[in-house]
Amino acid sequence: MDCPVFHTDYRLERPALETHRLLNADREAARFAWNDSTDEGFWVLNRFDDVKEALERDEDFTNDQVSAFHRSAPMGLLPENLNQPEHSELRRILNPFFAPKLVKRIADLARERAAALVEEVAPAKSTDIATGFGMTYPTELFLALLGLPVEDAGKFLPWVEGQFIGFFNSDPESQRIAAETRHSIDEYFTAAIAERAGDPRDPKTDLVTRLVTAEYQGAPIPHGTILTILNTIMAAGLDTTRSAIGYTFLHMARHPEDRERLLAEPELWPKAVEEIIRLYTLIIQDGREAARDLDFHGLQIRKGDLVWLGLAAANQDPRKFEHPERFDPDRPNLNQHLGFGAGYHRCLGMHLARAELGIAMSEWHRRIPHYRIADGAELRERGSQLRLQHLPIVWD
């Protein structure tokens, strides 16, 4: 099959929403393409049915690599880098902890923290959502959920930045920062693990205890593996929630008619959150590695090739979603988006993310219903995994 070659480098920072515009154009330009913007290059699948099929064909498209942008060291992310059956065994240990029932446990705390943080910023009549509320709120909840002291949030904020510098940049300086960050995070979690080993808590409500006491492959989980799991959950959970909060505010600031509807019908927030995750998909791609030479609907993929499964482009595919560019919390197939992935690796924290986001939005809008983007604000989004760098808003 003759394939076009795309050159767009999706690791670059761009004006807000430009990335999705480019991805939508790619999806319509060709069913399959090669992208040569990285050293190695990768195959591009951007249409909904293709992306979903590849995500579900995990024996052909493996998680040995999980980003099309670059290769990373084996087993650097857990459970992400595992394939079946090891992956399911580890998910069986983790899933109950992140199940909807347990997430409800933190609802009261989420409401209380969201309310307190909004009350704190309200008198100033302006804030940067991306670096303020959007960052502090998920970090505090993450620590509370893990049974760690909420006062440690200040340490975690720079650590998350350090982790991401390492994920997206392969130059020596970025890798040095990432390694130093990993060292600090490991020290922190090693202390928590030692404490739980000596004085275990309830494994149903304390994740570190759960990991320390669980059996995986017939033995206790090795210390290094527990550290990687905790690092992964931290990397996967904090920046994503912060990003989703940013895009939700951006949408509501730019679309007062949608905001008015949600002010009148706050019970609609869970559906609105789902639609934001689709429309502003922040994990734009899941990377996979081809397990063998494959013929994917005529596209010849070689064993070892990197493949881009375009979650963001798929989520705005008009073949799947009618008027995909519209925010429509009433759409009949609202829950069928790929914003949390699909198949075995579907997001471990999605129930938590949904609950956190819905609560944050209803608490904020109850207190500060009317706001606008600050005059002259330059809105830009990070590449690779989208996030608004700043979102200054003001209110009267």
Give contact residues for ligand HEM (rule: CB under 6 A).
66, 79-80, 91, 232-233, 236-237, 240-241, 244, 277, 282-283, 286, 311, 339-341, 345, 347-349, 352-353
Q: Which is nearer to ligand HEM, 83 or 394 (CB)?
A: 83
Between CA 47 and CA 24 the distance in angstroms is: 10
Q: What is the DSSP string of 146-209?
A: HT--GGGHHHHHHHHHHHHHHHH--SHHHHHHHHHHHHHHHHHHHHHHHHHHHS---TTT-HHH
Residue 168: CB minimum distance to ligand HEM, A: 15
Q: Which is nearer to ligand HEM, 294 or 357 (CB)?
A: 357
**Of 207, 216, 236, 181, nearest to 86 (Cα)?**
216
Residue 161: CB minimum distance to ligand HEM, A: 17
Q: Please, is 41 exposed, middle or buried when counting C-beta atoms within 10 Å of its C-beta (0-12, 13-18, 19+)?
A: middle
Residue 247: CB minimum distance to ligand HEM, A: 9
Amino acid (1-letter code) at residue 85: P
Structure token pair of residue 355: 């609950």
Three-state DSSP class for 294?
A: strand
User: Which residue number places its CB atom closest to ligand HEM?
Assistant: 349
Residue 52: CB minimum distance to ligand HEM, A: 12
Residue 123: CB minimum distance to ligand HEM, A: 29
Between CA 313 and CA 281 the distance in angstroms is: 9
Between CA 230 and CA 186 the distance in angstroms is: 9
Q: Which is nearer to ligand HEM, 118 or 233 (CB)?
A: 233
Q: Which is nearer to ligand HEM, 225 or 394 (CB)?
A: 225
Residue 395: CB minimum distance to ligand HEM, A: 25
Structure token pair of residue 163: 């982790």
Q: Which is nearer to ligand HEM, 294 or 348 (CB)?
A: 348
Structure token pair of residue 112: 């209380």
Q: Which is nearer to ligand HEM, 19 or 240 (CB)?
A: 240
